[in-house]
Structure formats: structure tokens, C-alpha cells
Structure 1
Amino acid sequence: MVPVRTRTADTIKPAAVRDYTQNMGGVDHSVQMISYHPLHRKTVKYWEKLAFHLMTLVMVQSHILYNEHRRSHRKKTMQLQKFVMSVCRSLASIPEDQQAPPQPHDLNRLVERHFPSPIVVDDKKMQRACVVCYARAISGGDNHKTQKSKRKVTQFECSKCNKALCVHPCFEIFHTKEHYA
């Protein structure tokens, strides 16, 4: 037991507790930074969760070291999000001055005119899984067995998008909501 001075009074605490509180700064700072910009993805496979966590941890630790190096040379530090983007750009060999990536053509579905039509291949009516029903099953965190029971098969598709959609309500949802899942 060792005496410890707190803001309000002098107390006695175990030496291990005092050592932990004095030296915990780096670990807590790292965990705090991970919580601000999580790279975690929803997945059932444990090894994917572990891989994403390790990638996040490596990025945060390298960001801390990078900023320490910058401070030692009296240069301006970089925010974590900008650091991660610069690392990704350099790995993908995309120039820094390039603007944000262009919006996908998928968003044209929100402004253009679209009509349902039957799915026909070689003069035969076909069936495919509805894109919206499938996306909703995936975003709900369902596993493979429950996805099959929840997804719906349809004979209709959007004539412009070539996406299989239930006529009601999925066709309207797909063409009016940016995030239809």
C-alpha cells in the first residue's frame, strides 16, 4: 500500500493500482482513437473480426508514431482519418491531389424513369432473387440458412438497371431510397 494524493484527499492504494494509473496513458489513448474511427465490419467469421481489429490497431499505432516523428521535426501533425486515407492512397497508388471518387452510376436509379419488366432469357421467363430483399437479409445479420428463407424470388426486373426486384414494395424502395437495405 502506498499513499496517493487525489484531488479531494490523501488516500492509500495498492502499488499496482498506482502504477497502472500512472502508466496507462498510451493504451487508453490508442483505444480511444480506435473508437472514433472504427474499421470494424459486421461478420460472422471470427477471423475476419480479428483481422479488421488488427488492421485498425496497426493504423492507429502507426499514426501515433508518425505524429511523434512529425512533432520531433516541428511539423504539423495529421488527423487519423486523413492519415488512413493517405496510406490507402499510397497503397493504391492514387495521387494525393485527386478529388474524391466520382459518385457511382447506381444513384441514377433515384432520378431517372424506370419500369418493371419480366425477366426473359432465350424466350423463357426466368426467376432471380430480389436485390432489395437480399440486401435487407444481409444487413439484418442473418446467416446463410436464414437468408434463403427470407429472400424472395421474383420474375420482374427494372428494364434500365437490370436488377431483379419485387414489383411491390421493393421496386419503389430501390428507386426512391439511396440506402435501400
Structure 2
Amino acid sequence: MYCADKRLSNKPVDVTMRLLESLLNKGHQLYIDNYYYCPELWNGMKGKITMLVGTCRKNRLGMPFDLFEAKITKMVEKLFFHLLTLVSIQTTILLNKHCRQHQRTLSYLAAIVKDLIVPLVPYDLDYNPQEDNVNLPLARLKERHFIKLCPETDGTAAQGEKAKSQCKVCAVRAKKAGQTREQRKNQRKQTSTWCPVCKVSLCIDCFEVYHTQANYI
């Protein structure tokens, strides 16, 4: 039976320092695994002008606990988006196969993202303030305008009925109030009058407001 020399320590720190005795103080770099790496060895190498590189076990004596309590969420985010993309691709394939539709994966994914975001947005995504033109010096405030019936050019009006269209002022006010597209559709106000100069459909109550106020909202 062989018994090791008890005069020599078999601790990882002592073994490493003994093997590198002739290579210390020369600016070398030592790469080791997690069995030998520990804060005590790192401090010893630092004083010997030798860099130490390697992985470390979190249960090593002297390791700070703050390094292992933090949870990394980057991988969780990558996993979420990977699963979302995977599900959208599979759903698009099944939808095109069984429903006889040809929908691109990008369009389907954009629709999913919009459905997830819209309930969290406090205002209407379809609202475009440039459509209102309320801050511009428009001719509607200077020229002479007369109210007239909407021309029957689309052929959608039934026989004996007047052509109707949505009032612009009422529509803009509904958008500004934060109503969704479905709510505006259900409460849509149709009018048979318009301004032939501005080419805008306006109800009788909103005709004067549209042509006298810069901000008619």
C-alpha cells in the first residue's frame, strides 16, 4: 500500500502553486477547471503576476453570494419570443392548409402583436392628427361655403333615398374621445349634406362649426 507523503499538502491551491513554482512572476496565464479554481488561488496568483482564468463552483469557500443570487432574464425573453414565432409559423401553416387561405407568416405575426398591444394602448392607433387639419390656416375659414345635398355618385343609395356619408366633424370628435373603430362603426352618424367646395360631408349642426372654428374638436 502506497501512502502519499504527508509532508506535502494535497489541497488544490497548494498543488497548483507547487506545480507552477518555476513559472510564476513571468506574466503567464493559467486556465483551470472549476475543481481547482477558488478565491484563495486567485489571490495567490495575483501576487505572483500570473493571470488565472476558469470557471468556479458557487459553493467554493470565499465566493461572494451576491454573484449567484441574481437571476438572468435574458434567456427567458429569448425563449418567449422563440415560442411565439414557432407557434405563429405552425398556426399559419395549419390555417393555409385547412382553411384554403394563403396568408404570409409575417402578416399573421403582425396581426397577433397588434391584438396583444391594442388593449394596452389608451388611445386609438388608427387616429392620425394630420387628417384633422385643425392647426393649419385652411381655406375653409376664409372662403364662402354653402351647404348642399350629397351627390348620388356611388349608386349605393336605394331608390327614393338621399345619398348619405359620414360627417367629418363627428368622426374626428369620436376619434378624439378615444372610441375604438368598432365603437365608431356602431355609432356612425350619416348625413345627406356636404360642402361642395371642401369636398367634405358635414351634418347641419357641424357645418357652421367646421367653417368658423380652426379647432373644431
The TM-score with structure 1 as length reference comes to: 0.40
The structure having more radius of gyration, on CA atoms, is 2
The TM-score with structure 2 as length reference comes to: 0.34
